């Protein structure tokens, strides 16, 4: 119904969307937990979208192949950071922001924190440059909650190898010292930004990890309870 001139009728806006990201080392179980969280939100009647980085949109998936195949590695961490930023810009415009605008909850496997850690802390790209790329691409679309799945590097690499066999991607193929440093960088991030980030032990079984994640989501973001039909 169209409101009459001078009417005080207001347009009903969609409920605010929420943005949850998952971070952590290789083999920590991010993809599994992203899927499980999306399913749990959907069971509550919440419009929930699962996505990933690099990727999550047509343009970003093309860049994903370029990065994870190792083709961009010879260009160095700075070039990789720029490629991640380009993929993230397309991902945000095509997938994340439209979903949030309609009130959906977006659950993303990796986001800007991975660039901070992989290319910034470990690749020694200038933090000011990383921050500038993030400001241009991400802007105000920041995660409401970041779940960092914590796992010893040895265990994570063993899981990743069992999953991918001999076809390790660009980052899985790095040495053990790299992955140990990666874990410490993510732990430092969790300690530095406790208002946004929570550290979850990923060494437990998948059910226990999922319950720990749900506790944090429930306490911090307070998802609405499912509507119950009244008995007649």
Give all domains of the chain, ordered by start, each with its CATH number.
18-50+103-221 (3.40.50.300)
d(CA 148, CA 186): 7
**Among 85, 21, 97, 8, residue whose Cα is nearest residue 52:** 21
d(CA 156, CA 164): 12
The size of the chain, in residues, is 232
From edge to edge, which strands make up the β-sheet containing 18-24?
A: 48-52, 105-109, 18-24, 145-150, 197-201
pTM of the predicted structure, to 2 decimals: 0.89
Q: CB atoms < 10 A from the CB of 30, how many? A: 22
Confirm if 46 and 223 have CB atoms less than 8 A apart. yes
Q: What is the pLDDT along the chain (232 residues), one digit of tens a residue?
A: 444 555 555 666 667 899 999 999 999 999 999 999 999 999 999 999 999 999 999 999 999 999 999 999 999 999 999 999 999 999 999 999 999 999 999 999 999 999 999 999 999 999 999 999 999 999 999 999 999 999 999 999 898 888 766 566 778 778 899 999 999 999 999 999 999 999 999 999 999 999 999 999 999 999 987 755 444 4
**DSSP secondary structure string for all residues of 36-70:** HHHHHHHHTT--EEEEESS-SSHHHHHHHHHHHTT
């Amino acid at each position: 119904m169209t409101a009459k001139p001078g009417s005080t009728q207001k347009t009903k806006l969609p409920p605010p969307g929420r943005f949850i990201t998952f971070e952590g080392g290789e083999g920590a179980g991010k993809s599994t937990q992203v899927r499980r969280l999306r399913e749990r939100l959907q069971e509550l009647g919440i419009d929930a979208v699962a996505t990933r980085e690099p990727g999550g949109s047509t343009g970003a998936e093309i860049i994903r192949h370029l990065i994870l195949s190792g083709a961009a590695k010879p260009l160095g961490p700075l070039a990789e950071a720029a490629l991640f930023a380009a993929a993230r810009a397309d991902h945000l415009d095509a997938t994340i922001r439209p979903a949030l605008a309609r009130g959906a909850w977006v659950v993303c496997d990796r986001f800007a924190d991975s660039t901070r850690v992989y290319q910034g802390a470990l690749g020694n790209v200038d933090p000011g440059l990383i921050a500038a790329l993030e400001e241009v691409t991400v802007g105000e679309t920041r995660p409401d909650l970041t779940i960092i799945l914590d796992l010893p590097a040895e265990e994570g690499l063993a899981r990743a190898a069992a999953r991918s066999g001999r076809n390790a991607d660009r980052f899985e193929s790095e040495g053990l010292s790299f992955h140990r440093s990666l874990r410490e960088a993510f732990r430092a991030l969790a300690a530095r930004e406790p208002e946004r980030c929570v550290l979850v032990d990923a060494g437990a079984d998948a059910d226990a990890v999922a319950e720990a994640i749900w506790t944090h989501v429930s306490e911090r973001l307070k998802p609405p309870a499912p509507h119950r039909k009244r008995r007649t």
